[in-house]
Amino acid sequence: MKLRPRLALSALALTGLALALGSSTAQAQPLAAATGAAATCVTNDDATNAARAAKGGNRTDPHQFTDAQTKAMEAAFAKAAKAKGLSQDSQGRLVTKDGRLAKRTVATSIPVYWHVITNGTAGKLTTTQINSQLSVLNNAYASAGFSFTLAGTETTTNSDWFSIAMPQNGSEPSDAKAMKTALHKGSTNVLNMYSTTFSDGTLGYAQFPGGNLTLDGVVLDYRTLPGGSLSPYNQGDTGTHEVGHWMGLYHTFQGGCAAPGDYVSDTPAEASPAFGCPTGRDTCTATGLDPIKNFMDYTDDSCMNTFSAGQITRMQNQWATYRG
């Protein structure tokens, strides 16, 4: 989930998270609701959070990942990989029973279906604007072996879908569900991108791997695309950040200073999200400076420029398990 300015990129706890344990077309298997496993990340703006704080409300989404939720998600990931005959080697890579690397992400091209939502006036996008966003994604994910190719676009005029709410209380709002149910295309290896606006300041949200196929994908405020009006979040990295969640990455500040944090060993622990571009910020002892330039923090688009090697391995492992 992404907030402006990334104040609380927290997770939505979806009870009964579905986990695809077989092929990309297999029926999803339910994860017990008692785990509180999380499946969606959402983002709001600073004005919304300030208003909540002034009213005594919580500045973060009430469903931000807890330790129990991440443990449940990691256990489900291990189970899903095992069901495919995969396990991790000494370098953290997924391998088959005979020791071969799992089919992962060498020159993996991801088809993208872009769903443009308008109210008849606002929200319209050109193919050039969409391709500019895909260029941002291609530059960010090239080192991980992923590329993104536009498979199709469609424009839908629907005022209910043009101003949707942030997911709350364990599920997506009815308008978002209706939108995705009507428009979603493809299987788990296809990225569905929905551009719209939000009624509560949200900039975007994404479903993590292994969730309900119909609800899979990334939803963005169209003004976050390159050249959009939501400065300093208008260079396309809201999309980069949310696709990172779609690929299975947690925030760099997940878990604060306590291990295992974001379950990636080479991203220094971070006590809280960073805003702006605070060079030299160091909120946890003995782990290195905060990873403020990482795409999975909350800093300005102009500050973000990297995924770590460990994050790349994790994305590839999640892809082989859930989407490949």
Instruction: Give catalytic residues, as residue numbers.
Output: 242
- The phi, psi pair for 111, rounded to 5°, reads -70, 140
The predicted model scores a pTM of 0.84
Share of the chain above pLDDT 90, in %: 64
Q: What is the mean pLDDT of residues 12-18?
A: 30
CA neighbor of 145 nearest in space, from 113, 109, 111, 112: 109
Taking a C-beta distance cutoff of 8 angstroms, is the pair 236, 56 a contact? no
Q: What does the angle CA 291 – CA 296 – CA 297 come to, to the nearest 5 degrees?
A: 55
C-alpha torsion angle, residues 165, 169, 170, 172 (rounded to 10) = -20
Cα gap 129→123, rounded to integer Å: 12
> Which pLDDT score, from 0 to 100, does residue 109 have?
93
> Which pLDDT score, from 0 to 100, does residue 94 have?
86
- Residues 108-117 pLDDT 10s: 899 999 999 9
CA neighbor of 81 nearest in space, from 19, 30, 153: 19
Q: Residue 251 pLDDT more than 50? A: yes
Residue 185 CB partners (closer than 8 Å, separation 6+): 113, 151, 152, 192
The H or E element that residue 137 is part of is helix 127-141
Q: Residue 247 pLDDT more than 50? A: yes
CATH number assigned to the domain with residue range 107-249, chosen from the 4 options 3.40.390.10, 3.90.25.10, 3.40.50.1450, 3.40.50.1970: 3.40.390.10
Cα gap 81→78, rounded to integer Å: 5
| Mean pLDDT for the chain overall | 81
> Which pLDDT score, from 0 to 100, does residue 97 have?
81
Instruction: Select, from the ranges 66-70, 162-166, 211-215, the one with the highest average predicted confidence (pLDDT).
Output: 211-215
- Residue 168's beta-bridge partner residues? 171
- Residues 271-308 pLDDT 10s: 999 999 999 999 999 779 999 999 999 999 999 999 99
- With bands split at pLDDT 50, 70 and 90, how would you rate the model's confidence at 170? low
Q: What is the mean pLDDT of residues 256-264?
A: 93
> Which pLDDT score, from 0 to 100, does residue 177 have?
94
- Residues 109-148 pLDDT 10s: 999 999 999 999 999 999 999 999 999 999 999 999 999 9
Q: Could you state, in order of their start, the residue ranges of all structural domains in the chain?
A: 107-249, 251-306
Rg of the chain on CA atoms, in Å? 18
C-alpha torsion angle, residues 52, 53, 55, 56 (rounded to 10) = 120
Cα gap 204→167, rounded to integer Å: 11
Residue 289 CB partners (closer than 8 Å, separation 6+): 268, 280, 281, 282
